[in-house]
Structure 1
Amino acid sequence: MTKRVVDEDIIRFLFADSIRNELLKEHGVLLGGKNLTHQLGFPTSSAFRKAKSRGVLPVQVFELENKRGSFALTDDLAIWLSDQRVQQFTLIEEGNKENKS
């Protein structure tokens, strides 16, 4: 394992932990409805439902008995958001290396 991979794993963990703590404070262990739609970056509930029907949501969602709508675990969302951020760091870093060459 290279140092870069270890660094990315550490960054990913730190981001996920920070995001998880903020989401837990604000929403608890579950997100649903408008909060879930917003956190996943969908502009409308309709866009969320369309992505769900196509099977392209970035996190696993599920229904709860006697509740309307879809729900996701805060931990799953935090991990996904962290992965997105680390990927952006990697792309920026690679772009900077190409510009220096």
Structure 2
Amino acid sequence: MKPRKIPLRKCIACQEMMPKKELIRIVRTPTEEILIDLTGKKAGRGAYLCGKVSCFRLAQKSKAFERALKQPVAAEIYEQLEQDFLGVQDEFLARGEQSDDEG
């Protein structure tokens, strides 16, 4: 039986290729809303970040979100995303450790 192909995505900050499940997806929905998508299935244009706060800050500083999402991102959206990212980071890292134990 042929092994399943693991989809890879690139972190918009550090440019490292990683399996899609190990990255956090930021999505611009069709209603122009920007939010974190932990399921990876929300409709809209997505950008991926590894779970490091340093990568989030680098993406913010280099305007990588604006390029990836093809839309200007306001300062208050960055603030909201940072709060969400910090909250999600712990949950995301715990989820990653859980899948490591299973495999």
TM-score (norm: length of structure 2): 0.30
- Structure 1 or 2: more strand by fraction: 2
- Greater relative contact order (Cα < 8 A, sep 6+): 1
- Structure 1 or 2: more helix by fraction: 1
TM-score (norm: length of structure 1): 0.30
